[in-house]
Amino acid sequence: MKDMNELRNKYKALYDIDGVSKEDLDKIENELQIKLPSDFREISGFYSGGIVGGIDIHSFLFSEPNFISETIRIREAVGLPNRFIVIAEEAESIIVMDTEKKPSIMWLDSVEVTKLEMQDFISKPDVWEDFSDFFNYLLDEEEEERKY
């Protein structure tokens, strides 16, 4: 897990602080019947979703698209296991967070979302140990983009 002060400062150098409240996070947990990882909760104190490093992360709040609506939609469409949250949907791929197991962030082909429980993927997904590692990766990508 990355140092939260370091991540916050790195984010603040690139963007305005835009966090969500503990109450909003509790609503997400209640709606989705999950427990959010502690690093995700900490990062949400200064980041509430949106484009970082070229990836459009779903809103943590309740504007569309958001974690709740997109996770419920994918749960209903393909039987996404309840411990997963849909973080983002990119061209023919999906980024999910496993709220119970590590590695917790997986970026995989959309067609393989039904294989999350057994993890018998045809194409190996990109994985990050936790949300803070993934968020740091996105910030690194953003810093690299801004150099040019």
pTM over 0.85: yes
The answer, yes or no, to whether residue 14 has pLDDT greater than 90, is: yes
The answer, yes or no, to whether residue 122 has pLDDT greater than 80, is: yes
Give the integer Cα–Cα distance in Å for 105 and 13: 24
140 band by pLDDT with thresholds 50, 70 and 90: very high
The answer, yes or no, to whether residue 123 has pLDDT greater than 80, is: yes
Strands (E), 1-148: 50-52, 55-57, 84-90, 93-98, 105-109, 126-128
For residue 95, which of 64, 117, 126 has the smallest C-alpha distance? Answer: 126
Q: What is the DSSP letter of 77?
A: H
| Residue 38: both structure tokens together | 């502690």
